Amino acid sequence: MYLVLEVININCKTTAFITTFENYSVLLTRLHIGHTRLTHSYLLSGDHLLECGTCQCPLTVKHILVDCVDLKDVRNKHFVASSIKDLFDNIEAHKIIDFIKETRFYKQL
Ligand SMILES: [Zn+2]
């Protein structure tokens, strides 16, 4: 009985790991192509492009990942990148995920 429960526990952990990995993979793909629910929902809703509340400029993936001054301190904890190309060419994926998880945008992307 203990062995069965242990196998079930391992399977649950494995499933949770795979689900988390898939979610991160989807998020990284969205960030890489620059299309997320948050930044492109206006296309479906007919609303205006969202603006960054701090910078008053269009809320884009590039703005969140590279440009926004409001996120600079959090960003610098995880990486420094001069451009989107620099970010995706040179920064490890887990650092990008960790940064996004620490921002208010994680659940919206
Ligand atoms: Zn901003």
| Stated pTM of the model | 0.78
User: Does residue 38 contact residue 59 with C-beta atoms inside 8 Å?
Assistant: yes
Q: What is the pLDDT of residue 102?
A: 94
Cα(19) to ligand 1 centroid in Å equals: 31
Cα(43) to ligand 1 centroid in Å equals: 21
Q: What is the pLDDT of residue 55?
A: 94
Judge whether residue 3 has pLDDT over 80.
no
Cα(21) to ligand 1 centroid in Å equals: 28
Cα(69) to ligand 1 centroid in Å equals: 6
Lowest mean pLDDT among 3-12, 24-33, 55-64, 87-96: 3-12
Question: 23 falls in which pLDDT band (50, 70, 90)?
Answer: confident
For the stretch 96-109, pLDDT in tens is 999 999 998 888 88
Helix (H, G, I), strand (E, B) or coil at 14: helix
Q: What is the pLDDT of residue 17?
A: 65
Domain that holds residue 60: 2-108
Residue 34's nearest CA partner among 63, 14, 9 is 63
Cα(40) to ligand 1 centroid in Å equals: 16
Secondary-structure breakdown of the chain: helix, strand, coil percentages, each rounded to the nearest 5: 70, 0, 25
DSSP secondary structure letter of residue 17: H
> How many folded domains does the chain comprise?
1
